[in-house]
A and B are shown apart, each in its own frame.
Chain A
C-alpha cells in the first residue's frame, strides 16, 4: 500500500481515454463502477472539450456482482456500437473491473466492429503507460501502407504522440507542422490527436516518424521502425538548440537543407540583452515528466543561464534518462511520485524559480517561490486561449516569457535594491506585474515546511543587520554562502568581517 495525498498520474485507463478522446472513430467501453465517470470532467472541464469523451462505462453496482456484470458489459458494448457506430471498439476494465475478471474480450465476440481488448494492469501501471500501450495497440492493429517512390514528391513524415489532455499538445503540433512546412516536409498523419483508424492505416506511407512525446509514442514508433523501416526523429524540439538539432535531424532524413529555419526565435537575443543579465545564476528546480524535465533543464542552463539546483521526474519508466541528465549537471535526480518528497526537496534546495507541474505550482504557492508550469499534470490554465506552444522556435519564445515573467524584471530589481529603504519598496514587495494577489517574497522558510535548519554558526547583530541590507532576491544565497564559509572554517559565529570575507571568497 502506498500512502498518497496527490497523484501525478491517473490510472492507466485514463491514459487509454486520452488516446480514445484524441482520435475520431474510436469508442471505449470500460468495465467500471459509476464513480469512475469522474474522468469525463478532466476532458470537458480542464481541456474545455465540447464533446463527451467517447467512453461508455458499464457502471456496475454491488447488486450486479456475481453473475450479471458480464451481461451488463455485453449490453453496454452492443448499445455503444449501435449508438456511436465506431470504426474500432476498445474494451477494457478499470481497477475494479479488473478484479471481477469478466474478460471483456470474450464478451464482445460477435460484434460487427473491430475490437481491441486493452490489458492495462491498474495496480502496477499508470496513466502515461496506459496511453502508450493503447496507442501501440491501435497502431499495431491498423498501421499499413508503404511510401510512394520518392521522385517528384515532397519528403513526408508522421507526427506521433499528441493526445487529449496533453500539456500544450495542440499548439506544439501546429508549431511543428508549420516548421516542417517551411522546411518543405509534408505531414502524412498526425496521431493520435485528430486521427481516425483509417488515418492510422496510412502511417506506412511516410518516410519517417517524428516522436514529439516519447512517453506516449515511443513504443509505437519503435514498432513502426521495425515493421515499416521508418526511422524516427528522437530529438524533442524544446528550446532553441534542441529545435535546431531537430531541424537538422529532420533535414538529414528528408534530404533537405535546413538553412531556412535558423533565425526564427527571439530567445537568443533576449537572453543576451543586458536586461537579462540578472537571470545569471538564478537557482532553478525542475520537476515534470521525463521529456519536459530534461528539455527544460537544458534550456534553463544553456539558454537562460540559470543554475540548476534540482532535477526530477515522476516517470519511473524514464528514470534512467533523467538520472543521466541530472548527472551531467552534477546533480542527483529525484525520481518520485510522492508529492511530499518533492515538496521537501524543493524546500531544501531553496530555488528562486521552480519549473514544474500543477503540483509544484501549489507547493510553490505555499512556499512563496515563483513557479512556471512545464509539464502535465495539467489544470485549466494550461489550456490558454492563445497560441502558446512549448516546442519549436515560437515555443522557445514562450519559454522565455513564461519562465522569466514570474521572476522580478531586471530593471525593477535594481530599482528595488537602490530604493530599498523607501517605504514604497518595502521588504518583501512582490513584483508589480504579479498583481495584488501575488505572494510576497520572504527569505524565511514558511511555517509548516519540513525544513531542517542547521544552526551551526550564529549571526551577530551587526552581520545580521548588514545581511538585511542585501536585496531579498540574493539574500538567501548570501546567507547560505556565508554559513557554508563559516562552517568550512569551523567558526562559531558570523561577524560583519565573516560576511565580507565570504563575499570576497565567493567573488573570486
Chain B
C-alpha cells in the first residue's frame, strides 16, 4: 500500500520519515484497560462492544485471569442492532447489575469500541444519565478505546482525557505528572522530587478515583509517557503549563526529565543535582553491566506502544546499539522534540505500518534484535531472528533510575538465552 515520505524530524542529513498506510499489526486502545484497571483501584471498565472486544481483552490480559477482574464487556447482540431492544435500557440494566454486584466501585468507565462507534451509540450521554442515577456512590465517565480511533496506548490517553473535566480547579502551584506508572516508579519519582525540594507533586491517574488531583494556572505539567496528546491538550485548556523534556527512560532520560520538571518548578539546581546523584550512579552502573552484550548490535522496532522513540534513544546512547529502523504507530512531534535531538541523525523512523512490507525490510536487514508484538515474535524467532516482546515494556516498570538496569536487561535476555542454548 502507500508509503508517503514526510519531512525529517531534525537536521537535514536525517533520512525522511517513512510513513506507511497498510495492514497494521497493533492492538487497539481497549488494551490499555489491562494496566489502567490495576492503577485506579476503585474503577471499573465496562467495554460496550462485541465478542471480539471481550476476546481481545481476555487474550491480552492472559495470565491475569485469577481474580474477578475490574473490567468486563457488555456484548452488543443481534436484537440490540435490530432495534428489538432499546440500547439505553439495556446499558442501564447491565450497569445496574454490575454495580449491584460490585458496590466497591467508585468510578465506572463506559469504554466505546468500534461497533459502538459505528452504530453511533452515544456513551457520553449514557454516562451523564447514569452518573445522575448512581452519584454519590459511583461516577460514570466514558471514552473510546476503539480500534478505528485509537492505537494501543492511545487508549490510556483517551481514558486520562476523560478524567480531565472531572479534576477540581486550583490556582495553587504544583507539579502534575501525567501517565500511568507502576507503584515503584511513582514512589521513586515522588521521593526524588521531595529531596530536590519540588512540591507538591501529584500524579494522574491517581491510585483511587476519589483522589483526583487538581489542575489550574499554577500547575506545571510533565508527561511520563509519550502518548498523551489529548490529555495534554485538555490539561493545557485548564491552565496547566507543559514542560517538554526527553522521557524518563534510562539514566540520561530520567536526569533530563527530572531537571526540566524541577527547574520549571523553580527548584535550586544544585539541590536537584544532589538529589539525583546517587540514582544516576546506580542507573549507570546497572546499565553498564549490559552494555558489552548490546554495544554495536543492530535493533529493529516494529510499531507498537509509541515508547519506541525514547527506547531507541536509550538503547543507542546508553548501550551503544545501532538503530536499523524505529517504527512507531504515531508520532507526536511536539512531545518528542526533546527525544529527536538526542537520536542519531541518521535514524530511520517509520510511522504507521504496512506489516508485510516492514517484515520484508526487517528480514533484509537481518538485525540482531527485533522489538515486536506477540503476533510476530515466534514467527520471527522461527526464522532465526532474536525478538523482544514489546508488550513486556508496558507491563514492567521501566521508567526512572532504579529500573534502568532492568530495562537494559530486558533487551539482553533474548541474546543471553540464545548464547546459552545448545539445542
A interface residues (Cβ-Cβ under 8 A, vs B)? 1-7, 9-11, 13-14, 33-42, 44-45, 48-52, 56-62, 65, 75-76, 79, 83, 94-96, 99-100, 121-124, 126, 362, 365-366, 448
Contacts and interface: CB of A to CB of B under 8 A. Distances in A.
A10 B31 contact: no
A10 B149 contact: no
B114 A35 contact: yes
8 smallest beta-carbon distances between A and B, as pairs: A35-B28, A40-B375, A35-B147, A50-B382, A33-B147, A95-B50, A96-B114, A41-B374
B58 A6 contact: yes
B76 to A, nearest CB: 6
B186 to A, nearest CB: 28
A59 B54 contact: no
A303 to B, nearest CB: 31
B25 A3 contact: no
B356 interface: yes
Contacts of B24: 34, 37, 57, 59
Contacts, number: 184
Contacts of B376: 40, 44, 52
B72 to A, nearest CB: 5
Interface stretch (B78-86, B156-164, B260-268): B78-86
Contacts of B48: 1
Interface string B87-99: 1001101100110
Contacts of B23: 37, 56-59, 76
Nearest to A84: B356
Nearest to A5: B72
B68 to A, nearest CB: 7
Nearest to B2: A75
Contacts of B378: 44-45, 48-50
B26 A50 contact: no
Given A62-B149, A96-B114, A36 B52 contact: yes
Nearest to A366: B66
Nearest to A358: B65
Contact of B51 (A7, A48, A58): A7
A61 B148 contact: yes
Nearest to B69: A5
B377 A44 contact: yes
Interface in B254-292: none
Given A5-B72, A36-B28, A50-B378, 9 more contacts: A1-B90, A9-B51, A35-B26, A38-B31, A44-B377, A59-B22, A83-B356, A99-B81, A99-B119
A35 B30 contact: yes
A81 to B, nearest CB: 13
Contacts of B148: 33, 60-62, 65, 96
Interface string B117-155: 111000000000000000000000000001111010000
A1 B91 contact: yes
A365 B66 contact: yes
12 contacts: A3-B72, A11-B52, A35-B52, A36-B28, A37-B26, A39-B55, A65-B148, A75-B1, A95-B114, A96-B115, A123-B81, A366-B66
Contact of B59 (A41, A48, A60, A76): A41
Given A1-B75, A7-B51, A59-B23, A34 B118 contact: no
B167 interface: no
Given A10-B51, A41-B59, A51 B382 contact: yes
Contacts of A121: 78
B379 interface: yes
A interface: dominant SS: mixed
A2 B75 contact: yes
B283 to A, nearest CB: 32
A51 B27 contact: no
B225 interface: no
A205 to B, nearest CB: 34
Interface string B23-51: 11111111100000000000000001111
Contacts of A50: 378-379, 381-382
B77 interface: yes
Contact of A362 (B66, B115, B373): B66
B78 A94 contact: no
A39 B55 CA distance: 9
Of B52, B53, B149, chain A has the most CB atoms within 10 Å of the CB of B52
B55 A1 contact: no
B151 A34 contact: yes
A21 B54 CA distance: 22
Given A4-B72, A35-B30, A65 B77 contact: no
B94 A3 contact: yes
Contact of A123 (B31, B50, B66): B50
B60 interface: yes
A279 to B, nearest CB: 29
A61 B149 contact: yes
A62 B24 CA distance: 14
A14 B55 contact: yes
A60 B85 CA distance: 29
A14 B26 CA distance: 17
A1 B74 contact: yes
B316 interface: no
Given A1-B87, A362-B66, A94 B75 contact: no
A33 B97 contact: no
B242 interface: no
Contacts of B80: 1, 123
B97 A52 contact: no
A65 B81 CA distance: 19
A99 B118 contact: yes
Contact of B55 (A7, A48, A96, A100): A7
Nearest to A41: B374
A65 B94 contact: no
B73 interface: yes
Contacts of A76: 1, 23
